Chains A and B, each alone.
Chain A
Amino acid sequence: MKYLHNIGVYFLMIKDMFRKPTKWSVMKNLILKDIDDLIINSLGIVAFISFFVGGVVAIQTSLNISNPLIPKYLVGFATRQSIILEFAPTFISIIMAGKVGSFITSSIGTMRVTEQIDALEVMGINSLNYLVFPKLIALSLYPFAISIAMFLGILGGLVACVYGGYGSYEDYIQGVQLDFITFHIIYAFIKTLVFAFILATIPSFYGYYMRGGALEVGKASTTSFVWTSVVIILLNYLITSLLLG
């Protein structure tokens, strides 16, 4: 029953987020700040993880090809497919649920605990629009971060493959270019945009509606991470079934 109630409150929150918009001159600065906090500040960890996971995917693929009849360019092909279809959009989103999601929940939750949200409401400001909407707009640039993750993942695979002695540069590039289907990129970006919406709204929901003190802020961050991850995984299955199934 509590879950159903929360789902209802979540959708009402999304509706209220678009009500009574904040002045553009103020909103503009909030969006720019959130782009910096949520996207630019995440690029380092996204780049680092993508590069090394790309390398690991290439090494694992290479080590598991023992049949001499399987061409060596398969390493590049498998790395590209893994990175574009799943690793960059989904795995990075789970990591972002931890990094960005916790940040959103704890910052909004702290504002709730310290009555800053009440202060906004007393002034007649739609606090949901003021706090959540800029995050949603900022995270609409999330596909930009995922593009970097895709590029660096494939590059990491290349570096690991060539410098680790698992295959040649030519084989890897041939694999990367083999049977390229443009729709896979579109599919990945559709997923990314859906996940961006989830990353902005579910952590905001847990921060905005939390009650209690500092301990509850920590608990809300953990709960937010768990539910953001669960919803991302479920939607990943659903979108994959609909678009590729």
Chain B
Amino acid sequence: MIVVDNLHKSFGDAHILKGISTSFEKGKTNLIIGQSGSGKTVFLKCLLGLYSYEKGSISYEGKSLNDMTPNEKRDLRADIGMVFQGSALFDSMTIAENVMFPLRMFTKQSKSEMEDRVNQVLNRVNLDGAQHKMPSEASGGMQKRVAIARAIVNNPKFLFCDEPNSGLDPKTAIVIDNLIQEITDEFNITTVINSHDMNSVMEIGEKIVFLKNGHKEWEGSKDTIFKTDNEAVTNFVYSSELFKKVRKMYLEDNT
């Protein structure tokens, strides 16, 4: 579980995060949503420890990031898997080498053990036979699946995904969403997804945190988001005619 309390972050005079408090539960897919410029990426990078923050605290399993020793932070990093928006695969390595990378860095496994584990996770993300391809030879959807495989290869306790569906066609986006949901359930990990894809919100948002101008405007789930009368949320989530209709149908069915 990750608990965030009164988080503030500024860049110079620009106050980006203005006192965000929330929690991300274990075994759930937690979504951070909001318009571009609402502070989602900065929030995610603070959670990951890539950005320092001026005020507030972030606790992993009850231990505050601020109080952790360098060794504890290193151990925590080994427990974190991250899927970047652009996949961030290492160009100079094959797909198998990319997935094997965290094992080479953090474990003392033999080469054959590592290869077995890589084959196992590539199989889990339906990428059998792609071991020897270079990232440049893989499609966007495949690259995302490799990034997910790399993120989970070391059995992380926390999985972070920054807009995992960006640049993907709707069908592949659903495949990626479902894969993340299944992995979260299967390995009982805390998953935090930064997204502005409304399909993801409706499909896998077990907990949703809505950010607006650096504030937490609303939080709930894929069920409660249909019922909310928060104007900022409804304006953002139901901005398209399709989602307006979906919401109307949901409310009609549930009243």
Contact = CB atoms under 8 A, between A and B. Distances in A.
Is chain B found bound to chain A in the same assembly? yes
Interface of A: 22-23, 25-26, 33, 110-111, 114-116, 118-119, 121-125
A110 B90 CA distance: 11
Contacts of A121: 50
A114 B86 contact: yes
Contacts of B89: 116
B198 interface: no
B105 A125 contact: yes
Interface in B117-176: 160
A25 B104 contact: yes
A121 B48 CA distance: 9
B106 to A, nearest CB: 8
Contacts of A110: 91
A121 B45 CA distance: 11
A37 to B, nearest CB: 10
Contacts of B82: 119, 122-123
B78 A124 contact: yes
B55 to A, nearest CB: 23
Contacts of B76: 124
A113 to B, nearest CB: 9
Given A121-B50, A123-B77, A124-B78, A115 B102 contact: no
Nearest to B73: A124
A22 to B, nearest CB: 8
Given A124-B74, A125-B105, 10 more contacts: A26-B104, A33-B92, A115-B85, A115-B86, A116-B89, A116-B91, A118-B50, A124-B76, A124-B77, A124-B78
Nearest to A110: B91
A136 B74 CA distance: 25
B80 interface: yes
A124 B86 CA distance: 19
Interface in B220-234: none
A174 to B, nearest CB: 51
B48 A122 contact: yes
Contact of A118 (B77, B80, B84, B102): B84
Contacts of B106: 123-124
B248 to A, nearest CB: 39
Contacts of A124: 73-74, 76-78, 106
B105 A115 contact: no
Interface string B91-108: 110000000011011100
Nearest to B98: A119
A145 B74 CA distance: 39
B245 to A, nearest CB: 37
A118 B160 CA distance: 13
B88 interface: yes
Nearest to A19: B70
Closest 5 CB pairs of A and B: A124-B77, A115-B88, A119-B88, A122-B82, A115-B84
A69 to B, nearest CB: 61
A23 B108 CA distance: 11
A33 B97 CA distance: 15
Contacts of A33: 92
A122 B50 contact: yes
